[in-house]
Amino acid sequence: MADLTSDFIGIKSPNPFWLASAPPTDKEYNVRRAFEAGWGGVVWKTLGEAGPPVVNVNGPRYGAIHGADRRLLGLNNIELITDRPLEVNLEEMARVKRDYPDHALIASVMVPCEEKAWKDILPVIAETGCDGFELNFGCPHGMAERGMGSAVGQVPEYIEMVTRWAKEATPLPVIVKLTPNITNILYPATAAFNGGADAVSLINTINSITNVNLDAMCPEPMIDGKGTHGGYCGPAVKPIAMNMVAEIARNPETATLPISGIGGITTWRDAAEFMALGAGNVQVCTAAMTYGFKIVQEMISGLSQWMDEKGYESTADFVGMATPNVTDWQYLNLNHITKAEINQDDCIKCGRCYAACEDTSHQAIAMSEDRVFTVKDDECVACNLCVNVCPVDGCITMRTLAPGEMDERTGQPVSGDYGNWLAHPNNPSVTAAE
């Protein structure tokens, strides 16, 4: 059996699946249930400084985007950091860590952008026995309006400054949680690296309004006739998160910075994809809120089985393996040509491929009078749209053509060397093709 034991920046856990800082990690009861269900670690819901309590709304806190089958695709939340007293959270964290010493317990922290505030609170939290800290520079609502969260995470100079304060205040590992609400993720990642961060985690939630109540003419969730922007998460944000993870992992200045991947992870495959792009472990929230804590058991068994099939003995064997294959557009091999193929045995004759290609693409699919759909190779540019709109998995595939291969109907070459004009001395794909 594959060994799923995780060692992320010196923090050990039974597996690489951690619960992200969020409502599921807000109290001892939840965290104990999570560990019993199989989660390898948790990032405790963000703690703030002692003093005036945080007050959350007593109304709807979530907005949602659903698929046609009511499957949850995206979740928007307007909830703030923990509204429970700091001392209560610390007592509960200490008990949990005492009873589950082999599981990772990370403290998420957010206080005002003042040196004393950070240096006062971190040693106090460390007394719980927690394994490390996650600095929350990502929350896009509520706390950002108070000069915290993404208000810090959008300013690289602040990230570097606060990270230095944290590293001076504690010997424990420090993870910096990055906001996606920024033009270029490399700026905050580099700032965290320069500040001495042991790792970064990303992404935090995306600033959003999910829907509008057209009767009340108000964004939802609606609180007494008013709405506000919130943080968007769930399966819909996965592509955005993976791109940002890959950008950090392949950038020479940040390539050595460990990454904890977050954003729409629902299955073992999602986790494996994040890790292949460079994440050392993953954090999950929306999937647990949708399906319950025991979803981690499917993630564990699925990842373990896949690793066995591939011959990977540990997660370290495949972390970052896909990173070298992430490149910029100008380095893609224009000599590589594919064409769509329709499996007539699987085709249900719905016509989606034809409609999509005829109306919005390259008119490369023909329809006979008896609704048999075929690909016109001389018109097909291999855009892959037909594959994506086809409701039958595997019915339409893309076949790679050999150099100089001839179209049987036209007798003309359907692949060639017309891409060589874009050849670049630093483009290994074009060089290899030549």
Q: Indicate which residues carry an active-site annotation.
A: 139
Pair of tokens at residue 342: 């329709």
Report residue 276 CA to chain centroid gap.
Answer: 12
Residue 134's alpha-carbon distances to 120, 265, 278, in angstroms, are 16, 19, 19
Pair of tokens at residue 18: 């951690």
CA-based torsion, 30, 35, 36, 37: positive or negative: positive
Burial 244-259 (b: 16+ CB within 10 A, else e): bbbbbbbeeebeebbb
On whether the CB atoms of residues 416 and 404 are closer than 8 A, the answer is yes
* Among 425, 384, 250, 428, CA closest to 326: 250
Q: Are strands 17-19 and 281-284 parallel, antiparallel or unpaired?
A: parallel
Rounded Cα distance between 217 and 211, Å, is 10
For tokens 């591939």, the residue is 310
Query: With DSSP H G I counted as helix, E B as strand and the rest as coil, what are the percentages for the chain, rounded to 5?
Result: 35, 20, 45
Rounded Cα distance between 124 and 122, Å, is 5
Pair of tokens at residue 59: 């109304």
Residue 378's alpha-carbon distances to 86, 127, 273, 332, 365, in angstroms, are 67, 69, 35, 22, 10
- In DSSP terms, 340 is beta-bridged to 398
* Among 276, 144, 122, 262, CA closest to 200: 262
> Phi/psi of residue 281, each to 5°?
-150, -175
Burial 191-214 (b: 16+ CB within 10 A, else e): bbbebebbbbbbbbbbbbebeeee
